[in-house]
Structures are given as C-alpha cells and as structure tokens.
Amino acid sequence: MSMIPIPHGPVRSVLALVLGLAFGVGFYVVFFQGQGTLELSADQLPDMVLTSVGGEVQSLQEIARETPAVIAVFASWCQYCKPVMRHLKQFNTYGHGNGVAVYAVNYGEDAAAVRQVVEDLQLEMPVLMDQHLTFARSLGIDGIPVVLGVARGGEIRYTAYALPPKEEWADFVASLK
C-alpha cells in the first residue's frame, strides 16, 4: 500500500494548522464545556478514608453526609488537570457560598508532589491523597481529570472530565441538593 506524500512548505504548514485547530476545538468541547461525561462503576461515594496533604484523616462518607460536595481527581503530571483545577478553584468560592463542599483528590502521587501543586495553583480547598489509587479504583476511574458531583448522602449525580461552564453553576448546584 502506498502512502500519499505530503509536500513540504506551505501545504504541510496549513495541514498542521488545520489538524492542530481540530484537536484544540475538540479539547475545548470535551474539557471546558462540561461535555465528555463518563461512566463510573459505582453510583455512591465509597466508604473509605483518605489523608489530606496536611496529614488529617478524612472520611469520604462524612464529606457528603451533611452537604453536597464536588470532588475533582487530578495529578501534577496531567496536562489537562491544571485548567480543570483552576476552574475548581473559582468554583470553590461559589460552592461554599451556596452550601457545596469542594475537595480535590490527588491521583497516586506522594505528599511532596501534591504540596507543590497546591502551592503552584494556590488551592484553598482540602486536598486529599489517593496514593495507592484505592479511591479511583473503587469508582472505576482510570483516567483523569474527573469531576464528581455528590449529593447529600453520597449519591454521585455528576461525572465528567470538567465542571460545567460558569453560566450553569446555579443549575449544577441545584442538581446536587
């Protein structure tokens, strides 16, 4: 089978630009428009404890026992996680003002790496560590970023690769109550 040769010069440059734009638009739609929902293997927050980057033990069941919660799963090496975490940082203020707890869960890294991300992104929400991926595996998460919307009582009502757009935050919060 012979391949069609792509000439050098302007044609190759235009082709590279078109492919780059197509990838960029697809990335924007999936990650920043709240689309790209995913299926998890569980519909309830698992009954387990994780340790925060500060060393406190946090029960996941307690997170959503009294208030809805948004939980983002991320890692420092994940290029798609940083914009999601910046968006989560903005949502943190909105969520707390509207009765929603906001947490971040690190995907399999040690405390030093997690502390560096917290410092670099100036995260103010509690950051929990899933060093052995027990949380991620219990939900069937095998790729990141993942954002979970959890109703009071622990029911997972939202799963996606990103938060919804800012214009939809009021409806998103209402769907968790």
User: CA-CA distance, 83 to 94, in Å (whole number)?
Assistant: 17
pLDDT in tens, 106-130: 999 999 999 999 999 999 999 999 9
Enter the pTM of the model.
0.78
User: CA-CA distance, 1 to 18, in Å (whole number)?
Assistant: 26
Q: Which domains are assigned to the chain? A: 1-32 (no CATH), 49-176 (3.40.30.10)
pLDDT in tens, 24-35: 544 444 444 444
Question: 71 with 151: CB under 8 angstroms?
Answer: no
